[in-house]
Amino acid sequence: MTNRIEVADKLPALPGEVIIYEVDAENIITRIDASWKVFAESNGAPELNEANVIGKPLLHFVSGNVTKKFWINLLNHVRTSGIAHSFNYRCDAPNTKRHMNIKVAPLDAGHLRITSTLLSTKPRPLQIHFRRAQQRTAASIARCSMCNKVAYNKEWIEAEELNRGLKTTLDVTYGICPVCHVKIDL
């Protein structure tokens, strides 16, 4: 999962498109819906084919320890409260800002249904590819999993504000910025 262009580059492009999947009580992916299959096939994302996704832990597809911890808390919170939880986040492609919503809803026996909906897109004048860095180094940049801002000089800014040129690749490690931390506090 390291040093390759991210799965996010291949997600749906049209507002209103949804991806639905389900996990069991152990957070193992048990079901993906037809839209997932269509987008995996039409976007040449073999790593997301049904055979590679069903039976895998959901956390296998989440980067960064802080983000993983957030997901575990969120899934457990929905199970114990029995109430669906949703929030907005960003899932950008290199030249598109994508505003998404995710909803986690409880099912029977600790199973959960996760619905991800594309709300809107906005073009980005620069093409910025994000690559997962294996570990934090002097060259890597922290990126927020929720709002997609990057850390620079103790501030969190849009990646294009780094002014690294018209087409660039950034090596990033994933975390959650302080603003999003407050927003998603369960």
Q: Any idea what the Cα angle at residue 52 is, between residues 51 and 57, rounded to 5°?
A: 120
Query: How far is 27 from 10, CA to CA, in rounded Å?
Result: 23
Q: Which residues contact 69 (CB under 8 A, 6 or more apart)?
A: none
Can residue 159 be called a binding residue for Zn ion (CB under 5 A)?
no
Whether residue 132 contacts residue 172, with contact meaning beta carbons closer than 8 Å, is answered with: yes
CB of 180 to Zn ion, least distance (A): 3
Query: How far is 173 from 171, CA to CA, in rounded Å?
Result: 7
Give the nearer residue to Zn ion in terms of CB position, either 83 or 186.
Answer: 186
Give the nearer residue to Zn ion in terms of CB position, either 100 or 177.
Answer: 177
Can residue 180 be called a binding residue for Zn ion (CB under 5 A)?
yes
DSSP assignment letter at 152:
E
Using CB under 5 A, which of the segments 5-13, 26-34, 127-135, 173-181 binds Zn ion? 173-181
- φ, ψ (nearest 5 deg) of residue 115: -120, 120
Can residue 177 be called a binding residue for Zn ion (CB under 5 A)?
yes
- φ, ψ (nearest 5 deg) of residue 170: -110, 135
Give the nearer residue to Zn ion in terms of CB position, either 123 or 178.
Answer: 178
Q: Which of residues 4-63 bind Zn ion (CB under 5 A)?
A: none
Can residue 172 be called a binding residue for Zn ion (CB under 5 A)?
no
Using CB under 5 A, which of the segments 11-19, 39-47, 133-141, 170-178 binds Zn ion? 170-178
CB of 25 to Zn ion, least distance (A): 29
Give the nearer residue to Zn ion in terms of CB position, either 75 or 146.
Answer: 146
Q: 68: helix, coil or strand?
A: helix
CB of 160 to Zn ion, least distance (A): 16
Using CB under 5 A, which of the segments 25-33, 35-43, 166-174, 178-186 binds Zn ion? 178-186
Whether residue 121 contacts residue 99, with contact meaning beta carbons closer than 8 Å, is answered with: yes
Q: Which of residues 134-153 bind Zn ion (CB under 5 A)?
A: 144, 146-147
Whether residue 128 contacts residue 170, with contact meaning beta carbons closer than 8 Å, is answered with: yes
Instruction: Note the residues at the interface with Zn ion (CB under 5 A).
Output: 144, 146-147, 177, 180
